[in-house]
A and B are shown apart, each in its own frame.
Chain A
Amino acid sequence: MHSLLADAPAHDAGFTSGLAYFRWLHDLLPAPFFHTQAFLAFFALVLAVYWTVPRRFQMTRIWVLVIASFHFYAAWSFELAFLVTGTTFADYLFGRAMGSTDRPRVRKLLATASVCMNLGVLCYFKYRGFFLNELYEGMRALGMDPGFTKLNPLEVIVPFGISFYTFEAISYAVDVYKRKIEPEKSLPRFLLFILFFPHLVAGPIVRAGDFLVQTRRPKRWNWLRVQLGVQLFLVGAFKKMAIADRMALYCDPVFKDPDAFGTVTVWFAVLAYAVRIYCDFSGYSDMALGAAHLLGYKLTNNFNMPYLAANVSEFWRRWHISLSTWLRDYVFIPLGGSRGSALFNYRNLLLTMLIGGLWHGAAWGYIAWGLAHGLMLVAHKVFQGFCEPRPRLKAALETWAGTGLRVFVTFFCVSMCWVLFQPELSKALAVFGKLFSIQKGQTLLLSNWALWATVGFLLACQLILRSGLWAKLHARLPAPVLGTGYAVCLCAALVLAPDAGTTFIYFQF
């Protein structure tokens, strides 16, 4: 991701001085990554200003956050920050307009206009390159002259988090149209709902109903909440720096050039990628939740130990919860949901997951990934139907061993699907080719025990959390022990982070 600032022309003095300001901002905060020293400095400043404003000046506090959020985005690209703010303002006006009329046709028209505008911006930035290139290839294959040149996908600038805030804006328009929520009257509150920097670039996808209510509650400094926020931030940083970035050392070289590596190394890389993507995204979400808590806001929990899910359906109730519930509420249910015949239900599942795949990226790999998950959900439904009249089989699957087997099979299937989760389908197919035919090749310079140790550590943490042991222990631990634990966690994250950290996988969406 490069900044647009480098190529921006200077038209006049005012523009140039404005440009210089954003350039300076970009130097201070070059990338919106939570685990960087630059972000921590920015966040410390925001926290200080935000909590210094007296509680009775609630609207001032909201403006502080709006301005901070705008600067957070503008530091990466000020043009796109203005674009996001502009579309958010338009969504606000659409909402107000819907609230000011009772005529169903006008309301429907306004809601449609809002959805189309958001989807239009999304398609322009995210899908234009993909569709034009596919059209180009198709026309060339048919021997026709496309009349335009092929776009280089690397040159197409996709605004950070566009898929996330687009879905938030769409859900707002639909909810206002369906009268599930009242249109927001306050512009700063609405701007904060979309631009709030902890969730702006990689979610979780917040709902207006959950967030806007919080903007009305006066915020008090609460040490319990601060502790929770710091804990979440530390855990997220540890997941990202100590696990996800470390796992990238195992999977990145292999996924980049699968043909060069042997079968065993590729299997290890697939396992490492499954761990990496979970820790990368859930680590980011934890940091977002933690940062929001420190500002007195609660965001939707996005993950609930997804790799302990016993089936794919359960996996989607635990993985990227804010997206899966969004897809359920705004795609699956409007399509007809589980009503009607089984075939109709399967079609809805496939379509929903296909859209889910396309949401992640404009590439065949993501489409195949969404389709594969849709097929797995259908297979699960069919299997459920098969087990229903067979109580002994059902009971066997409910036992400890049966559950363990189901968890393993689910993890295996999900991990296989992660292979598809990349822009180039050809590389994914090359990985599959290596996985299922024994071939010799290079091995990584790393020892595999570190990978197993990470998997074991992660599994142990999840089991301790799931058993409720941590909740009990946390309540009983003396404050100094807990505090030392925080320090050790942070130090461990810093020590274990590889010297060349990677970006967040979900930032590209």
Chain B
Amino acid sequence: MKFRALFRLRPFARAESRAPREARSRRGRAALALAFGALAFALLQVLFVLFTELSPVLSDPIYAARARQLAALRAEKPKEPLVLFLGSSRVQDAFRAGDVNPATGFNFGTPGAGPIANSLYLRRLVAEGRVPDVLLLELMYPLCADGGPWPQEGPLITADRVTRAERDLLIERYGFPGDLYRRLWRRSALVPFITHGFKLIGRAAPDALPSNKQMRAAHGADEYGWLAPLESLKPDPALRDRQLAHYKPWVENWRAGPWTHTALADTFALCREHNITVALVLMPEGNAFRELPNPEAKARINTYIAELKAQFGCSAIDARDWFADDAFLDGHHLLRPGAERFTARLIAEGIEPLLKARGAK
């Protein structure tokens, strides 16, 4: 009663019969409940937005799951040098990071990640204090293609996945469409429960979502981040043809896009700042994928790689032709035996020399 009395609007009302007073009290209670409801809803919205701004756990669960795994691994082996492989689903399936020895390897491959996403992820990791010693950076050249006014990765890095600062960075430096992206970001911030709803369920009760919407990149991955392809999988020509059709428009007449180059430059600058040794990696591809660019485009890709090596003073591991077609599920995602062989060769030809060079320094 005392609590209610606090909210009574007319404390000095004249004495009245009990019934009208009760009716007024019930009306007051109703108004108060509605006011509290509106306030609580607004507060929950603000808290949700603040939470997504401060932590990617809800806004970008794919990144958050990988980062959590990496944090756990570093807690186990804090002294060993860290070899981090940033890349797309090609990396996610192909790199058995647990084989890296004596350093700690971690597979930070996430679906659809290209140079811009990798740059964002590295910024976040560095800000969280997870600085790798050696960084293998996938050069996913289809995503480096000139996509017209916007970068190819634009539709993949949706506005609800980034913070306000990241949004501004994407617009200012990486050519994301300013008005549209700001509007989408504002919308996701205004109705966070709608935007992040399925991510929240995906975190709390993933089985309630269809498997293609669960956003559980780390689900099924080992402690080193490798999402091992199932042993039972076999090359699937129909799937390969669908993938080829998907990538063809990006790759056939490939030209380097300006935005991804800026992202790569930013990544290298960050690496220099934190003394990270970097190598570019071109992931293995089946013959059909390798033949997808026309001869001029192929030449442009090779020139681009050479220019990047020269500009950033890094090595580049070109694994595009390491395997025959039967090593792939769909022409560009390695099957398990291929992944094991790829890892062994990458360690021998790429990681060990990099670690030695770093040790010598």
Which residues of A approach B to under 8 Å, CB–CB? 37, 222-224, 226-227, 230, 246, 249, 444-447, 449-450, 478-480, 482-488, 490-491, 494-499
A484 and B28 contact, CB distance less than 8 A: no
Within residues 105 to 153 of chain B, which ones have a CB less than 8 A from any CB in chain A?
none
How far, in whole Å, are A407 and B205 apart by their CA atoms in the complex? 31
B39 and A494 contact, CB distance less than 8 A: no
List residues of chain B with CB within 8 A of the CB of A222.
Answer: 27
- With a 10 A CB-CB cut-off, give which of B27, B35, B197 has the most chain A CB atoms: B197
Any A CB within 8 A of the CB of B36:
yes
B210 and A495 contact, CB distance less than 8 A: no
Any A CB within 8 A of the CB of B245:
no
How far, in whole Å, are A16 and B118 apart by their CA atoms in the complex? 52
10 contacts across the A-B interface (CB closer than 8 A): A479-B32, A480-B36, A482-B37, A483-B39, A486-B36, A487-B36, A487-B38, A487-B41, A491-B41, A498-B198
Any A CB within 8 A of the CB of B302:
no
- With a 10 A CB-CB cut-off, give which of B3, B27, B34, B44 has the most chain A CB atoms: B34
How far, in whole Å, are A99 and B303 apart by their CA atoms in the complex? 91
How far, in whole Å, are A445 and B211 apart by their CA atoms in the complex? 6
List residues of chain A with CB within 8 A of the CB of B205.
Answer: 450
Question: Do A484 and B37 contact each other (CB < 8 Å), given the known contacts A249-B210, A446-B209, A494-B191?
Answer: yes
Told that A224-B27, A487-B37 touch, could you supply 7 new A-B pairs with CB distance under 8 A? A226-B31, A227-B33, A446-B207, A446-B209, A450-B207, A483-B37, A499-B197
B198 and A227 contact, CB distance less than 8 A: no
How far, in whole Å, are A198 and B191 apart by their CA atoms in the complex? 25
Partner of A450, one of B4, B7, B26, B208: B208
How far, in whole Å, are A487 and B40 apart by their CA atoms in the complex? 6
List residues of chain B with CB within 8 A of the CB of A480.
Answer: 32-33, 36
Any A CB within 8 A of the CB of B317:
no
B197 and A483 contact, CB distance less than 8 A: no
- With a 10 A CB-CB cut-off, give which of B4, B208, B212 has the most chain A CB atoms: B208
How far, in whole Å, are A496 and B39 apart by their CA atoms in the complex? 21
List residues of chain B with CB within 8 A of the CB of A484.
Answer: 36-37, 40
List residues of chain B with CB within 8 A of the CB of A478.
Answer: 3-4
How far, in whole Å, are A449 and B200 apart by their CA atoms in the complex? 18
How far, in whole Å, are A463 and B167 apart by their CA atoms in the complex? 48
List residues of chain B with CB within 8 A of the CB of A230.
Answer: 34, 37
Any A CB within 8 A of the CB of B299:
no
How far, in whole Å, are A497 and B209 apart by their CA atoms in the complex? 11
B34 and A227 contact, CB distance less than 8 A: yes
List residues of chain A with CB within 8 A of the CB of B32.
Answer: 479-480, 483
A486 and B37 contact, CB distance less than 8 A: yes
How far, in whole Å, are A480 and B40 apart by their CA atoms in the complex? 9
Which residues of B approach A to under 8 Å, CB–CB? 3-4, 7, 26-41, 43-44, 191, 193-194, 196-198, 200-201, 205, 207-213
Q: How many A-B residue pairs have CB under 8 A?
A: 100
B35 and A483 contact, CB distance less than 8 A: yes
Question: Do A227 and B201 contact each other (CB < 8 Å), given the known contacts A446-B210, A479-B7, A494-B191?
Answer: no
In the assembled complex, the CB of A320 is this many whole angstroms from the nearest CB of chain B, namely 29
How far, in whole Å, are A196 and B281 apart by their CA atoms in the complex? 65
B208 and A226 contact, CB distance less than 8 A: no
A483 and B198 contact, CB distance less than 8 A: no
In the assembled complex, the CB of B183 is this many whole angstroms from the nearest CB of chain A, namely 14
Partner of A491, one of B36, B44, B198, B211: B44
How far, in whole Å, are A494 and B28 apart by their CA atoms in the complex? 28
How far, in whole Å, are A249 and B209 apart by their CA atoms in the complex? 9
Residue on B nearest A493 in the bound complex, by CB: B193
Residue on A nearest B204 in the bound complex, by CB: A495
List residues of chain A with CB within 8 A of the CB of B38.
Answer: 483, 487
In the assembled complex, the CB of A122 is this many whole angstroms from the nearest CB of chain B, namely 37
List residues of chain B with CB within 8 A of the CB of A447.
Answer: 207-208
A446 and B208 contact, CB distance less than 8 A: yes
Question: Do A497 and B34 contact each other (CB < 8 Å), given the known contacts A487-B41, A491-B41?
Answer: no
List residues of chain A with CB within 8 A of the CB of B30.
Answer: 223-224, 226-227, 479
Question: Do A224 and B209 contact each other (CB < 8 Å), given the known contacts A479-B7, A483-B40, A491-B44?
Answer: no
List residues of chain B with CB within 8 A of the CB of A226.
Answer: 30-31, 34
How far, in whole Å, are A249 and B213 apart by their CA atoms in the complex? 12
In the assembled complex, the CB of B269 is this many whole angstroms from the nearest CB of chain A, namely 37
B40 and A479 contact, CB distance less than 8 A: no
Partner of A495, one of B33, B34, B193: B193
A494 and B44 contact, CB distance less than 8 A: no
How far, in whole Å, are A498 and B193 apart by their CA atoms in the complex? 12
How far, in whole Å, are A37 and B191 apart by their CA atoms in the complex? 10
A479 and B36 contact, CB distance less than 8 A: yes
List residues of chain A with CB within 8 A of the CB of B207.
Answer: 446-447, 449-450
A494 and B210 contact, CB distance less than 8 A: no
How far, in whole Å, are A496 and B193 apart by their CA atoms in the complex? 9
List residues of chain A with CB within 8 A of the CB of B27.
Answer: 222-224
How far, in whole Å, are A190 and B27 apart by their CA atoms in the complex? 32
How far, in whole Å, are A488 and B38 apart by their CA atoms in the complex? 11
How far, in whole Å, are A444 and B211 apart by their CA atoms in the complex? 10
